[in-house]
């Protein structure tokens, strides 16, 4: 009986593994923290060109720019993401030379556009 239960558990784990791998790959297609859409991989070059064309100012902060980091309460301006790059509730800005998507209420970085 115990061997049967262990065999069933092993089969269930093997079946569930591909779903886990697939969920992890979504991060590279534009899904960011919390499952809300960010800038998709194929849209990033055009989005970077848009940032350069718009001459978005660069803000310098002493901290590293990483997903999960929180930007200062003052001194940084956030901009709406044009709908041509996907519908999102996030805003963007440029910090330490890197374009980031930010959750506007918390100022938390949810995606670094590379």
Strands 108-113 and 79-80: unpaired
The verdict on residue 66 lying in a domain is yes
Phi, psi of 109 (to 5 degrees): -75, 125
DSSP string, 27-71: GGGTB-GGG-B---GGGHHHHHHHHHHHTPPEE--SS---TT-B-
pLDDT band of residue 38 (cuts 50, 70, 90) is: confident
pTM: 0.67
Phi, psi of 87 (to 5 degrees): -85, 125
Domain CATH for 46: 3.10.450
The verdict on residue 23 lying in a domain is no
The verdict on residue 4 lying in a domain is no
Question: Which residues does 43 contact at the CB level (< 8 Å), separation at least 6?
Answer: 30, 85, 86
First to last CA, the chain: 53
Per-residue pLDDT, 20: 39
DSSP secondary structure letter of residue 4: H
pLDDT in tens, 51-93: 999 999 999 999 899 999 999 989 899 999 999 988 789 999 9
pLDDT in tens, 16-33: 544 433 333 333 334 455
The verdict on residue 52 lying in a domain is yes
The CA distance from 15 to 68, in Å, is 32
The verdict on residue 81 lying in a domain is yes
The verdict on residue 103 lying in a domain is yes
The verdict on residue 14 lying in a domain is no
The verdict on residue 21 lying in a domain is no
Owning domain of residue 58: 30-113
Instruction: Report the domain count for the chain.
Output: 1
């Amino acid at each position: 009986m115990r061997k049967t239960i262990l065999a069933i558990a092993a089969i269930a784990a093997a079946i569930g593994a591909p779903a886990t791998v697939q969920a992890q790959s979504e991060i590279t297609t534009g899904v960011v923290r919390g499952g809300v859409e960010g800038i998709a991989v194929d849209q990033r070059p055009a989005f970077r060109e848009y940032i350069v064309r718009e001459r978005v100012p660069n803000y310098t902060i002493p901290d590293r720019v990483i997903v999960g980091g929180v930007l200062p309460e003052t001194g940084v301006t956030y901009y709406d993401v044009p709908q041509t790059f996907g519908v999102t509730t996030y805003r963007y800005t440029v910090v330490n030379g890197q374009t980031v998507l930010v959750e506007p209420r918390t100022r938390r970085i949810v995606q670094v556009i590379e």
